[in-house]
Every structure is written in structure tokens, then in C-alpha cells.
Structure 1
């Protein structure tokens, strides 16, 4: 079992490009099933947090590949590496 407080301090990293996406700031729970539907990562602040933020990143639970001791590996569907795009 993992406590939410322990879950929130882990770095979330995309396996698509190795980029650190941030830390979990919230979770979506299905009240009918009691299961976690998604994790939410706050968008990063622009210019030291001034002038607004980027949009939050919502990662569905089924896109989490591995939860380790220090990191959570996810498949972020919004990131498509250019090497995977087929040329026509």
C-alpha cells in the first residue's frame, strides 16, 4: 500500500522522451468504483511562476507503467517523438 503523501513526492517521468513532467498534485477518483482514474500534474509556471501557468497534465491511470521507489514512469500520449512519425 502507498499513502497519497508518499505518492505525491515521486517524480513523474515520461518514457517517451525521458522528460520529467513534475509531481502529482491531485488525483481523480471514480466514486462508484473507488478506483483512481487519473493523476494530475500542475502545469509549470512561466518565468519563475509569473504570468500564468501551463495547463495541467492529466494522465489516465492505465498510462502508468511502473511505480518505483523514487519515480513514476508514464506513457504520456500527448508526446509523440518525431522519430515515430511516418514520412509520406
Structure 2
């Protein structure tokens, strides 16, 4: 078993392109079932990010391949959207 506070310390890696996407910013939980629906990651930073709202990457639970000791592997297309299977 792993705590949410520990999950937020894991690096998230996209296995499709090998990119490191950062750490989990937030977690979307279904309050009725108590299950995790998605991980929310910070989007790409822009040159003048302080002037604009940053975009987020939402990773549905189904796109999580493996949660390891210090890394979470996900499968997203190169555009930051879930990869088609």
C-alpha cells in the first residue's frame, strides 16, 4: 500500500516517448467509490509562464502502466493526451 503523500514524490515518465513529465500536482478521486480517477500533472512551462495560466496534463487511471518505488510509468501520446490502444 502507498500513501497519496508518497505518490506525489514520484517522477512520472511517459513510456511512449521517454519524457519525464514531472511530479503529480493533484489527484482526481471519485468520492463515491474512493477510487483514483486521474493524476494531474503540471503542463509544459512557457517562457513567460507568470503571465499566463499553465495548462495541466490529466492522466486517466487507465493510462497508468506501473507504479514503482520512485517512478510512475504512464502511456500518453506525444501531444500529452492518452495514447490510443
Q: What's the counterpart of residue 44 of structure 1?
A: 44
- The equivalent of 2:67 in structure 1 is 67
Structure 1: runs of 5 or more not aligned: 81-88
1:44 deviates by 3.3
Report the Cα distance in structure 2 between the residues aligned to 1:48 and 1:7, rounded to whole angstroms.
29
Cα drift, residue 51 of structure 1:
3.1
Choose 1 or 2 for highest CA Rg: 1
1:1-88 alignment to 2 at 5 Å? 1-47=1-47, 49-76=49-76, 78-79=77-78
Once the two structures are TM-superposed, the CA of residue 20 in structure 1 deviates from its matched residue by 0.5
Q: How many Å apart are 1:74 and its aligned residue?
A: 0.1
Gaps of 5+ in 2: 80-85
TM-score scaled by length of structure 1? 0.79
**Count of aligned positions:** 79
Q: What whole-Å deviation, never above 9, does each CA across 1:42-82 have from its counterpart, x for those lacking one?
A: 12332374333541000000100001111100011x427xx
